[in-house]
Amino acid sequence: MNKIRQLNLGNTTMNVSDFIIKRLCAWGITRIFGYSGDGINGILGALSRSNEPVKFTQVRHEEMAALMACAHAKFTGEVGVCLATSGPGAIHLLNGLYDAKLDHQPVVALIGQSARKALGGDYQQEVDLISLFKDVAHEYVHMASEASQIRHLIDRAIRIAKSQRTVTCVILPNDIQTEDAVEIPPHEHYSIHTGVGHPSSYCIPTEAALDDAAHVLNVGNKVSILIGAGATNAADEVIHIANLLDAGVAKALLGKSALSDDVPFVTGTIGFFGTTATENMMKGCDTLLLIGTSFPYAEFLPREGQARAVQIDIDGRMLSLRYPVEVNLLGDSRETLRRLIPRIHQKPNSGWRSKIVEDIKIWNKEQDQLAHRNSDLLNPQRVFRELSPLLPDNCILTADSGSGASWYARELKIRAGMMASLSGNLATMGCAVPYAIAAKFAHPEKTVIAVAGDGAMQMNGNEELLTISKYWKSWKTPNIIIVVLNNRDLNMVTWEQRMMEGDPKLETTQVIPDFNYAEYAASIGFLTFRMAFPENIADIWKAALKADRPVLVEAITDPDISPFPDHVMIKSADKLASSVARGDNAALKNSGHILQQKIENAKY
Ligand SMILES: Cc1ncc(C[n+]2csc(CCOP(=O)(O)OP(=O)(O)O)c2C)c(N)n1
Ligand SMILES: [Mg+2]
């Protein structure tokens, strides 16, 4: 074995950790997000002495490392890697790893463990990591028990993460990390000899399935299309097929950046943060084409039986999951659409498409009025409506779970070349800032804008500002803007409680401590703005966008303006009436005329 080691390294001694770094680099991994601990001392040593191009990003909390690894995967298409120590460090990773798992992102977690001789001995920080990670990394979680396993553990963890678009995990006992590396396992029984590399390939449906799908789409009269993250890279094809089908296109939240909002028949988002144009289209269609989406909420899709449906998805498990689909197409969105398009007959221009385009115009006009309505404090809708036209080309947007996600969904208009993401399926708070940091590391030349709630900032965003402060001078451009919606409220949930439970705002659980985010960020080197008056909004955005360092914009916004649009709230008019009857006037105060009447007439 020593001979092999020397063959590969000349006179240098390579240990298991050096070899792990080398192997990661052979796979093209260039960044590891992580946090130190004695369970991974060997790897940290190897990282610091490595001449390989891999870089380490030191975060403030391991959950952030996992969220960054997920965002890295989302914004680069590469595998994201995070590194944490045994016990508490590994446990902290979990939420971020679930974010990656639920949004189908390839992420590899490398975690430390107590030394092998201590395992099973109730040793300090000893946690049963295989069991703990068995759900989040169920496709592949293994612990190394000897050096000659390392090559295949790393190779398989990366390959499976890539091919299944999921989370995998390699557990590395602390003592194994400094053993001599075995680059080439002995050529004998029980040895595993894996290689590096994963082909770029795509899957396409059969000709027969394409014919069947084309038939359903060709005989339909009112076609609506819903796209998700799986339609990224298929924008031209989506536009092409939509034009042939005389259809409109709605976007699930994770598919926000898959298609430009400039396209006149894009109805915007669907769901709780969706537009009336999308809602009308879904209610009126007789045919539904789903592309790369697993948008979950049935009530926003056509009723069963209303529409004949075709779905395209790269993952067979996601087919016919949300709507009983007549023709399931298992394949890559772009390649499948390319093969479907020649089979589609051009539908004549009909009232269907023009009504969709008209609905979009009506929606935009109404939203403009709503953004300019008076409120006690700053209207959050106006904050984002004024930012949207100023967004730089090719910028990257991220958002937290919270009211900000609604304004991000509805008010920030995507143009071709932009990227945008959030925690779609896990919908975890606290992803906006780590996502933005990962985006900036991956694309340092681009402007990155994160929309964060004040609750999320208090949960972890404030700490992660320190990471920006630590690294921003190493980025090619300094342009990263953190927008904090300071509403002193866990606002989205406060509104859900009004809508779903008929509760008034519950002071004990919903009001959060006030904090001066701008002052704090300024103290660690940010350029900061407190946005409190409508007439200053545009000027603050312009100044923020041309800043020569990271920016934090603290918008002091009105929690009584609902992040949910009226057409969604109207379905809960009786519950909202109950919240009003119990002394909370917010639902009545800022709603439109029709909703107001519904609330006033509602029985509770
Ligand atoms: C980790 C986590 N905890 C709790 C929730 C439930 N939740 C969703 S949005 C929200 C409120 C967020 O408050 P804030 O960050 O202040 O944003 P706001 O809605 O006020 O703009 C909560 C508590 C969640 N999604 N994730
Ligand atoms: Mg808040």
**Would you state the structure tokens that stand for residue 594, as one six-digit string?**
């029709």
Closest CA to 317 of 139, 503, 68: 139
Distance separating alpha carbons of residues 348 and 359, to the nearest angstrom? 20
- Nearest atom (ligand 1) to Cα of 430: 1
C-beta of residue 150 within 8 angstroms of C-beta of residue 181 = yes
pLDDT of residue 604: 67
Cα(385) to ligand 2 centroid in Å equals 19
pLDDT of residue 1: 37
pLDDT tens digits, residue range 465-499?
Answer: 999 999 999 999 999 999 999 999 999 999 999 99
Residues with CB under 6 A from ligand 1: 400-404, 427-429, 453-456, 485, 487, 489-493
Distance separating alpha carbons of residues 375 and 398, to the nearest angstrom? 26
Distance separating alpha carbons of residues 506 and 547, to the nearest angstrom? 39
* Per-position DSSP letters for 270-335, written without gaps between them: -STT--HHHHHHHHH-SEEEEES-----GGGSPPTTT-EEEEEES-GGGTTSSS--SEEEES-HHH
Cα(403) to ligand 2 centroid in Å equals 7
pLDDT of residue 13: 79
Three-state SS at 108? strand
Task: State the first-to-last Cα distance of the chain, in angstroms, to the nearest integer.
Answer: 78
Cα(388) to ligand 2 centroid in Å equals 21
Angstrom distances, CA of residue 223 to CA of 247, 302, 353, 377? 5, 11, 9, 42
Cα(233) to ligand 1 centroid in Å equals 31
pLDDT of residue 12: 57
- Nearest atom (ligand 1) to Cα of 427: 25
Ligand 1 binding pocket mutation candidate from 428, 429, 459, 512 (most atoms within 8 A of CB): 429
Question: Burial level of 219, CB count in 10 A (0-12/13-18/19+)?
Answer: exposed
Within a 10 A sphere around the Cβ of 180, how many other Cβ atoms? Answer: 16
- Nearest atom (ligand 1) to Cα of 557: 21
Which residue has the CA at smallest separation from atom 16 of ligand 1?
455
Give the 3-state DSSP-derived string for 349-416, with helices as H, strands as E and coil as C.
CCHHHHHHHHHHHHHHHHHHHHHCCCCCCECHHHHHHHHHHHCCCCCEEEECCCHHHHHHHHHCCCCC
pLDDT of residue 6: 38
**Would you state the structure tokens that stand for residue 230, as one six-digit string?**
């799986």
Contacts of 117 (CB under 8 A, 6+ apart): 175
Instruction: State the chain's mean pLDDT as an integer.
Output: 96
The answer to whether domain 207-359 and domain 372-564 are alike in fold is yes
pLDDT of residue 397: 98
Cα(195) to ligand 1 centroid in Å equals 43
Residues with CB under 5 A from ligand 2 (ion): 453-455, 487, 489, 491
CATH topology of domain 16-178: Rossmann fold (3.40.50)
pLDDT tens digits, residue range 497-556?
Answer: 999 999 999 999 999 999 999 999 999 999 999 999 999 999 999 999 999 999 999 999
Provide the whole-model pTM.
0.97
Cα(456) to ligand 2 centroid in Å equals 8
Kindly give the pairing relationship between strand 141-143 and strand 80-84.
unpaired
Low-confidence residues in the chain, pLDDT < 70? 1-12, 603-604
Closest CA to 334 of 245, 234, 239: 234
- Nearest atom (ligand 1) to Cα of 454: 16
- Nearest atom (ligand 1) to Cα of 487: 20
Q: Which CATH class is domain 207-359?
A: alpha beta
Distance separating alpha carbons of residues 23 and 19, to the nearest angstrom? 6
Angstrom distances, CA of residue 432 to CA of 83, 117, 159, 351, 438? 20, 41, 28, 41, 10
pLDDT of residue 472: 98
Closest CA to 257 of 248, 245, 269: 269
Ligand 1 binding pocket mutation candidate from 61, 401, 557 (most atoms within 8 A of CB): 401
What number does CATH give the domain 372-564?
3.40.50.970
Domain range list for the chain = 16-178, 207-359, 372-564
Ligand 1 binding pocket mutation candidate from 408, 464, 493, 497 (most atoms within 8 A of CB): 493
Q: At CA 549, angle to CA 66 and CA 472, rounded to 5?
A: 35
Half-sphere exposure of residue 87: CA atoms within 13 angstroms, side-chain side: 14
pLDDT of residue 376: 87
Structural Rg of the chain based on CA atoms? 26
Which residue has the CA at smallest separation from atom 4 of ligand 1?
429
